[in-house]
Structure 1
């Protein structure tokens, strides 16, 4: 009985996701419905794409921080919806981040979904001196992150992968460049052994 229920639920989830088409979740978001988080039987619904921060229009340290924070918001959104268009648009190169986004998209395309795993940014530490940051300059940062517990389901509603919550979290390293009026991440990868800069 349980297997039938899971299969039926997965079929409904697949129908909902297929209905989204190439426009991601835009068509699936109802203005009258509250956001619904993912569960062990169905993906999240009515999740809105994160808004852009005004600071992101500045080639400054604050602009870089705002942009990188937004990138992690877009990753969280992608994990909940399978819509990776905005996340990929924020990347230029960044092979590891692109591969991760494509894997998320493929999971949803196959009828699966992700429960949890959203990265919670603790802080963004820009290591490039503020006075050196300008248009066209590579800006480096290290980012301590605490991701939620993660469970990935396939199209049949079966658990394919799990990761427990780790209170120690992890660290990402990033490089971003401001050019032609916008920031792009040229490198973004989990680097758990990276050292955080000493507090000033």
Structure 2
């Protein structure tokens, strides 16, 4: 009798655990679902927010580069998801970049989405001398970028705006400052007429 009781108890416990396991697996499937790129009929799904790089915690030229790479990753993430919180948190001033982020948010808030347009950073050139980079110093950079072809859809799925892929790309200029243990972009704007300085 005792053996039967133990077996029954074990069976119930196993059933409960199995039930919990199924529930956990279902939750994991929902939260760890594979990312899906945007299409002409639906926005991207399950896109992970870019993770930070350890170099970003350093007030060095390499730290500034790592931070600016991250900012463009956040812009790409924002264009795919409409989530601009992390992007805005990386900015301090930078009016053009803030306005662009708010435009992206507005598209998604209105039920629309963006297909493509992700900025591909070709190079980040820190134009401030490396030995001058330190906490509290304004660090300038130039960033050649090749964005993908861009299409913006409204809630009804109609095309609102398109921009073709331009192999020549464009140029961004940036100013970043390291303060209180973190970098912030105080200026980040597309400056298509700017040219990279000649290298010796």
Q: Same fold (TM over 0.5)?
A: yes
Structure 2 equivalent of residue 156 of structure 1: 156
Determine if the alignment matches structure 1 residue 172 to structure 2 residue 195. no
Contact 1:117 1:150 in 2 (8 A): yes
Name structure 2 gaps, 5 residues minimum: 1-28
Equivalenced residue count is 172
Unaligned runs of 5+ in 1: 1-28
Q: Provide the residue aligned with 1:37 in structure 2.
A: 37
Mark the structure with the bigger radius of gyration.
Answer: 2
Distance 1:30 1:173, change over 3 A: farther
Question: What is the distance in 2 between the residues matched to 1:155 and 1:139?
Answer: 40
Pairing 1:103-142 to 2, within 5 Å after superposition: 103-142=103-142
Structure 1: distance between partners of 2:78 and 2:34: 18
RMSD: 1.0
Ranked by relative contact order (alpha carbons within 8 Å, sequence separation 6 or more), the top structure is: 1
How does the TM-score come out when normalised to structure 1? 0.85
> Which 4+ runs in 1 deviate beyond 4 A?
none
**Mapped partners of 1:198, 1:51: distance in 2:** 33
- Once the 2 structures are TM-superposed, how far is the Cα of residue 32 of structure 1 from its aligned partner? 3.1
1:90 aligns with 2:90: yes
Partner of 1:18: none
Cα distance in 2 between the residues matched to 1:152 and 1:102 = 15
Please say if residues 147 and 165 of structure 1, whose CA atoms lie closer than 8 Å, have aligned partners that are also in contact.
Answer: yes
